[in-house]
Structure 1
């Protein structure tokens, strides 16, 4: 791998990490030069990294040129949760050997996990689940959709005891009871679809600084 490709790969990882951690607000403009200054590199690796993130659907190209994070709306959130539910339903239908799934992290059950910890555990759980599908495409689809849900998952606090909810879902799944898992997954996604407006509003408000950060450029 060439030095430029190595730099682009590093910049891609770091920008993606910031996006998934909620460091940028929805709709934030991502300015190539500003990011190059932040990461101490030329603009070429940054542009390459951003184009790669466009392919992953974590970044969008602005109509007038440049890059930005997608706007979070209740309609977009609803569609993403629905897509995730559809993918999970397909995985549950064909999963095999699920009784070997590792147990959930203990911090989920004792309610000590904060929003970021629960969000990270949620991503881990669904990626592990997809790994039990004989269709290897399911894993990539679940992971990519989960990454696009990352900001929303950070703000699912309106769903009471969602850490305990995830632990319960995890344990039902590893029991190997396919029908019970299907029903539990349905309830999990339904709770989010019913609260999608509140979650999307909380996500936007949670990301905005005292001055509207959607107008900030990075």
Structure 2
């Protein structure tokens, strides 16, 4: 689902998923209910479990929430957590972006902030997979943000970089959602 293999609105058949996974229907249904709680699956009365629809408005709302969480994480940063000696991992753009944002949340020293940023990242994963095609230099952008974070610079420059990152995606929200649908 996070990889965008299943189209938005697809009905998730518990029996078929159970068969494909080689398990009974009960753990599949339990897992789908948990994913409903994480807003990663929709439960529609009379229709069952569905791959959630991403709309332009929902994407913009998630981007706003993500930015607020990152800004608050920087505001709450714990001085002893300021040094990051890890490198930006290789991998797809979505995974790299999620890594950077999780590291920013971790600077807050607040485990609930970390959980929030991880939950938002899961919901943004699909659109992040399309950012390079829609926005061009998205990989370079996240690298520049990481360089600022890892250098322990929590300046107005980093806040500005995060705000520009989110603003660019909000401007491109319609195209990002269109890419998800294709």
Give the TM-score taking structure 2 as reference length: 0.91
Question: Contact 1:98/1:176 (CA < 8 Å) preserved in 2?
Answer: yes
Deviations 1:140-168 (A, max 9, x none): 00000110111111111211211111100
Q: CA deviation at 1:134?
A: 2.2
Deviations 1:42-97 (A, max 9, x none): 21111111111111110010131410011111111111111111111111112233
How does 1:8-157 map onto structure 2 within 5 Å?
A: 19-96=1-78, 97-105=81-89, 117-157=92-132
Query: Segments of 4+ in structure 1 off by > 4 A?
Result: none
Deviations 1:147-197 (A, max 9, x none): 011111111121121111110010012222222211111111111111111
**CA–CA distance in structure 1, aligned partners of residues 108 and 164 of structure 2:** 21
1:165 aligns to 2:141 (yes or no): yes
Aligned residues: 178
Structure 1 residue runs of 5 or longer lacking an equivalent are 1-18, 108-112, 206-218
Over aligned residue pairs, what C-alpha RMSD do you find?
A: 1.5
**CA–CA distance in structure 2, aligned partners of residues 162 and 172 of structure 1:** 16
Q: Which structure ranks higher in relative contact order (CA pairs < 8 Å, sequence separation ≥ 6)?
A: 1
Deviations 1:88-123 (A, max 9, x none): 111111223333252324x5xxxxx6xxx1111111
User: 1:99 is paired with a residue of what secondary structure?
Assistant: coil
1:203 aligns to 2:180 (yes or no): yes
Structure 2 residue runs of 5 or longer lacking an equivalent are none
**CA–CA distance in structure 2, aligned partners of residues 170 and 31 of structure 1:** 40
